[in-house]
Homo-oligomer: A and B are copies of this chain.
Amino acid sequence: MIIRYSREEMVKNWSDENRFKIWFDIELFALEAMESIGSVESGTSKIIKEKSKDIVFNVNRINEIERETHHDVIAFLTHLSEIVGSKNARFIHQGMTSSDILDTCLSVQLSKAADLLINDLDVLLKNLKDKAYEFKLTPTIGRSHGIHAEPTTFGLKMAQAYAEFERAKERLIFAKKDISTCALSGSVGTFANIDPRVEEYVAKKLGLNYEPISTQVIPRDRHAMFFSTLGVIAGSLERLATEIRHLQRTEVGEVSEFFSKGQKGSSSMPHKRNPVLTENITGLSRIVRGMVNPALENIALWHERDISHSSVERVIGPDSTITLDFAINRLSNVIEKLVVYPDKMLTNINSLGGLIYSQRILLELTQKGISREESYALVQKNAAEAWDGDKTFKDLIMNDIDIKKVLKEEELTKLFSLNYHLSFVETIFERVFNGNN
């Protein structure tokens, strides 16, 4: 985790303090459940609760104990015992294994992380929608292969991103369900020493489902699905970031990241205004995607469990959620403050002298009964000449003898029309924003 790429709430979610707090909650809820089914002396949980009111765990002390025992949960329990007294502590963790605590805690943290990420996406969606409506009918050239194709609008670009991040949100909700699961099933998951009702109770208190079958650990296909989903979302972030980087290129100049007062673009070249935020998001996306593979390799644990997944999760649990949280927010800000240059968009549209209307001419020729192949050849010939020479495509078309045979001057003029390409913007917006699909 790199501080510069992190936000406070997500970092707190992964703090030692929060982790110990969740461990304690799990132990306490488990005690409550055991009491209610009679497997623990009545009143125990109440005493523990009182003794540990406003408890803040001494992380250093726990670490100290761990250095001796080489076992973090035992260190925690020992410290807890120091606080509540060993007599009161004796039913704590009864019939449970470390994994019951660790895995359920991870579920709580990932689940919380998912909530934060969903909130992030909501903000991004709002900003995209705002921009989409603001520039709904602002014409801009659509590009395929980086080459001018046909006009579209800047609002449609934003609407596309909106639809993509709605999918991202849906996927995250689905993936959250996958990791919102609680296991308190004891050694190798047989419940031999802990009643399944304890698991059911604790799950409910924590807002999780209970794991139908665990093997001491929660199966790691769940986590792999979660981290893979983060990877896909990171890919979508990169797509939008790449779009902005392209549009901010000197030669394109259609949008620009907000450039704050006092900001320096380059230590050596004072004139530079660089799309550094979206470039940064591109890099952050690589980081998040890099964590997919370790997560996938974590699935195939040996037999009922091995601990190889643990170090991986200590890294990718915090790092991928913290990085993604930061990246989504950064992108939200970029979109919110994006500087858009509609005039430059229009200039670019017109820069090819009408070439971008080639398809329309082609279609009109076929409508007039000329075969597709002939029409294509006719249009391509003029396009090539325009591309390589000095005359504009429009001029060439208007003066092409073969074309003039079938299309009159006023018919031809009408074909070079920008508005023609915007006819269905409304329909698409209906689909995207009003769910008419």
Contact = CB atoms under 8 A, between A and B. Distances in A.
A292 B292 contact: yes
A236 B159 CA distance: 34
A333 interface: no
Contacts of A307: 145, 274, 276, 279-280, 283
A423 interface: yes
Interface in A264-314: 264-276, 279-280, 282-287, 289-294, 296-312, 314
A249 B252 CA distance: 10
A269 B149 contact: yes
B224 A232 contact: yes
B351 A146 contact: no
B189 A156 contact: yes
26 contacts: A5-B314, A69-B263, A74-B264, A93-B267, A142-B216, A145-B276, A145-B305, A146-B275, A149-B304, A159-B213, A171-B225, A186-B268, A187-B269, A190-B422, A191-B423, A192-B420, A196-B427, A225-B229, A235-B296, A243-B303, A264-B376, A270-B358, A270-B376, A283-B307, A292-B296, A315-B319
Interface string A84-123: 0011011111111110000000000000000000000000
Interface residues of A, number: 172
Contact of A268 (B159, B246, B269, B362): B362
Q: How many copies of the shown chain assemble into the complex?
A: 4
Contact of A189 (B152, B221, B286): B152
A260 B143 CA distance: 22
Contacts of A250: 141, 143, 146-148, 348, 351-352
A271 B355 contact: yes
A421 B190 contact: yes
